[in-house]
Amino acid sequence: MASSPDGTRATEGFFGRRRGRPVGLNQAAILLDGLKRNRLELAAPAPADLRDLFPVQVSSVRLEIGFGGGEHLLHALDAEPGAGFIGVEPFVNGMAKLMMRLDETPRPNLRVYDDDAIRVLEWLPAGSLERIDLFYPDPWPKKKHWKRRFVSRQNLDRFSRVLRHGGVFRFASDIDSYVNWTLLHCRAHPDFEWLAVEAAGWHQPFGNWPGTRYEAKALREGRRPAYLGFRRL
């Protein structure tokens, strides 16, 4: 199990790489400054009204888990400036990339966290989110690693607690076994209802969809993504 960067606690849900290519000095400075300004402080309790996390008025709050290079998150921030977003990404290079973009154009409707999203899920007040996005999570295709997949009964319980009634969990993946896995887990969970009307709808991207870097790679390599939505009952 990976340990957290501050060494305080092992993480439960993160098994991936924390670093890729070395981050340059300028980028490191922007990353540190960006985290100082935008990082969630989980040592303090969450505000009772989660919208108070943001310096601007927002109508509701959404969470993106594992935003990678931030392509979808940046698009959503600009497409929906009236909504608040929390982006979580433990991979340093991904967070650094997002912070470079924020340095060019600050977005007051964003807060970030640079470690395991399970910590954020545990910290959030019940019923505080309108949406949770999990796009192209690490697929862990080998059966012996399936237990590492982010979608699990335990994490769906966490999603169920933090989503408001009627809130939505959105999932995308190019790995068929993970798509089936997610469908089965959500179907078995009493609090989630699949939003698809017919199976053909699986391959239809969500509305106003910008794509992601990982998705582009999957398409280049000939894999066909699926897009699933589940309503919190």
Ligand X SMILES: C[S@@+](CC[C@H](N)C(=O)[O-])C[C@H]1O[C@@H](n2cnc3c(N)ncnc32)[C@H](O)[C@@H]1O
CB of 85 to ligand X, least distance (A): 14
Catalytic residue among 52, 103, 115, 138: 138
If we measure between CA atoms, which residue out of 95, 83, 81 comes closest to residue 32? 95
For residue 33, give the H/E element and its range.
helix 25-38
Q: Is the dihedral of CA 196, 198, 199, 203 positive or negative?
A: negative
CB contact set of 160 (below 8 Å; sequence gap of 6+): 189, 191, 192, 232
CB of 233 to ligand X, least distance (A): 25
**In this complex, which beta carbon is closest to ligand X, that of residue 69 or of residue 84?**
69
Distance CA 142, CA 92 (A): 25
Q: Are 84 and 51 in contact (CB under 8 A)?
A: yes
**In this complex, which beta carbon is closest to ligand X, that of residue 192 or of residue 214?**
214
DSSP assigned state of 3: B
CB of 30 to ligand X, least distance (A): 19
Q: Which residues bind ligand X (CB under 6 A)?
A: 13-14, 16, 65-69, 88-91, 94, 116-118, 135-138, 150, 212-215
Half-sphere exposure of 43 (CA within 13 A, CB side): 4
115 catalytic? Reply is no
CB contact set of 35 (below 8 Å; sequence gap of 6+): 95, 99, 112, 114
**In this complex, which beta carbon is closest to ligand X, that of residue 164 or of residue 213?**
213
Length of the chain: 233
CB of 212 to ligand X, least distance (A): 3
Active site residues: 138
